[in-house]
Amino acid sequence: MNHLIKHYFPSLVLSGLFFSASCTDDNEMMRISNSIRFTSDVRNAWLPVGTRSMAEDTHPSVSSLETDGMNLLYLHTLYADSIEPQFADNASPSTRAAPASAGDMYETFGVSAYSYTGDWNGTELPNYMYDVSVDSPHTKTLRELRTVLGTKEAPYNLANGKGGSAVENTANCYVIGAPGYYSFPLVYGNAIKDGAANSSAYTSAAASSSSILNPFVNHAGAGIKAPYLTDNGCTPAYAELVWQDASSLVSEIRYNTGSNGGNISFKVDKHTIQQGNAVIAVKDASGTVLWSWHIWVTDEDVDNAIEVTNHQNVRYRFMPVPLGWCDGETVTYGARGCKVRFTAGEQTADIAVSQNSSTVTTGGNHPYYQWGRKDPFRPSNGGNGNKTWYDANGTASAAHMKVEAFPYGTECIRNYILKPDVMQKNPSGDNTCRNLWNADNNTYSANDNQVVKTVYDPCPVGFKLPANNAFTGFTTTGGNTSNTSPANGTWDSARKGWNFYARANRTGQQIFFPASGSRNYSDGSLSLVGSYGLYWLAGPNNERSGWRLNFFSSYVNPLGNYYRSAGYGVFPAQE
């Protein structure tokens, strides 16, 4: 059977060895036989390992390349004439450099090829290779040493300690340490605790005043009266990605109807899992954001808390890393070269492609938060540039955060929910409430008062923002450093941050606080990454500012304060 073919030569992206080709002649269309031969001449020698016929007018072939004298790298070539994708469940056979959907590969007559590792038996879904070499022990742990959790039909429930269907504890952030299928219920932050409604998360016991929010409000500015979104007049229609800072970190995001408003499910693929962050939003039929959640993928044991005693002799148990932390990593792409020949009828074309080895290094990073808000803002690249991030369409970007001047008061908080990827440009944030991160707070003082976690708290289950005095043990007098009040720690010039001691007089274990800089509310840019460290505390310093820890290599201020709209890190404390 002959085909009419447009003839143009393939493009080849070697960071994942994905390339596609279809054919056309510059001057005229021509008819050729139904057999297109693909051959390759690659350094280390490609070896054909078999062919099969899977559908009429579809002609696959497979070759393999032996690398490092041990492992086989397979190249599977498939050319088809407008047939349905063979692998319907495969949403993204892709590389970091050239994402491609199954539709891109099959929608028109042409030739497509992709590489994968693992045995090819002619029928199974390929195990796609996304990077040639990744020198990251964290990625290796997540991809090779962690057991896959959940299934597409029965995803692992993140609001249940064992993944079961019952809802036990909810939060605005869910931590994932293994590939798999996951879900979470449509609940406002931590509004469910120990399997029951946690009304203290959305109501306040503080004396009524204009600076106390009670009850807490949702996207419509209405008071939250129950844990589930659908119990508050919301009608979810779909869910989608807001952003993620690693390619294909989460995929197959879906809103599923069901009891209590249903849930959101998604996939963390074992081939693309790595340390990273994502934000998922649920929307109504008009596209209005009803709420959003932070997904943090890490191999870190976040529950391995470090106990620190502050200057007031109060003990806090801190998460071992900042919220959303991703370790710095070095990714090495090996040198490769090949010559590819396409033969159609009596016509042939050879393409020689080579790529030099390259190494890309990213510094340690974490998201930033404005005081009183629940959603993270995208990390740096370890310097004053933005970490590459991806939108709902998979488009990569290194743009700054968007900023917008929200009104003050309840209308500001409403916009915080409606626009989780937009920073408040007005420096004072909401400029009103004392209790956004501590439901019962009614003071501006530095203190060790119990923090009552709220639906706007960005921390995962079991953690919350620390009280205002939590970091006072990081100096010898409990106040800001001076000539007579040195830091209770050592500056780490290699890692760029402070190793603070957990006990007074430089005793006990140490906890590392990276100097991650800040994200500016004026234009969404980054500044002082690697030299300046800033972390929010739960309480406000006044109606315009919040308490913070801030430090350079030369000083430490555990009782600093600044405008609420500044983008800082969060170091959660255990509840």
Nearest to 369 by CA among 557, 572, 158, 186: 572
Distances (CA, A) of 486 to 395, 472, 475, 480: 47, 12, 6, 9
Per-residue pLDDT of the chain in tens (575 residues, 90 and over written 9): 333 222 222 333 333 333 333 333 333 332 333 333 444 443 333 333 333 333 333 333 444 443 444 444 444 443 333 333 333 343 333 332 333 344 443 333 333 444 444 444 444 443 333 333 444 789 989 999 999 999 999 999 999 999 999 999 999 999 999 999 999 999 999 999 999 999 999 999 999 999 999 999 999 999 999 999 999 999 999 999 999 999 999 999 999 999 999 999 999 999 899 999 999 999 999 999 999 999 999 999 999 999 999 999 999 999 999 999 999 976 665 665 666 666 666 777 776 666 666 666 778 999 999 999 999 999 999 999 999 999 999 999 999 999 999 999 999 999 999 999 999 999 999 999 999 999 999 999 999 999 999 999 999 999 999 999 999 999 999 999 988 789 999 999 999 999 999 999 999 999 999 999 999 999 999 999 999 999 999 999 999 999 999 999 999 999 999 999 999 999 999 99
Tokens of residue 330, six digits: 């070095």
Phi, psi of 328 (to 5 degrees): -65, 150
Percent helix / strand / coil, the chain, rounded to 5:
5, 40, 55
**What is the secondary structure of 451-500 as a DSSP string?**
P---TT---BTTEEPPPTTTTGGGBSSSS--BTTB-BSEEEETTTTEEEE
Dihedral Cα 437, 443, 444, 450, nearest 10 deg: -50
- Count Cβ atoms below 10 Å from residue 235 Cβ, excluding itself: 11
Return the pLDDT at 362.
75
The DSSP code sequence of 167-236 is: -----SEEEE-S-EEEEEE-B-TT-EETTEE-GGGTS--SPP-TTS-SS-B-TTSPBP-SSBGGGGT---
DSSP state of 345: T
Predicted local distance difference test score (pLDDT) of residue 81: 32
Q: What is the DSSP letter of 125?
A: P
Sign of the dihedral defined by the CA atoms of residues 100, 103, 106, 107, in that order:
negative
Question: Which tokens go with 362?
Answer: 């990213």
- For 377, half-sphere exposure in the C-beta direction (CA atoms, 13 angstrom radius) is 31
Closest alpha carbon to 536 in 498, 510, 502, 562: 562
CA distance linking residue 101 with residue 83, whole number of Å: 14
Going by C-alpha positions, the residue among 569, 493, 479 that lies closest to residue 531 is 493
**Do strands 329-333 and 315-318 pair parallel, antiparallel, or not at all (unpaired)?**
unpaired
* CA-based nearest residue to 254, from 234, 228, 233, 236: 236
pTM exceeding the 0.85 threshold for the entire prediction? no
Question: What angle (nearest 5°) sits at the alpha carbon of residue 538, between those of residues 533 and 544?
Answer: 80
Distance of CA 399 to the CA centre of its chain: 16
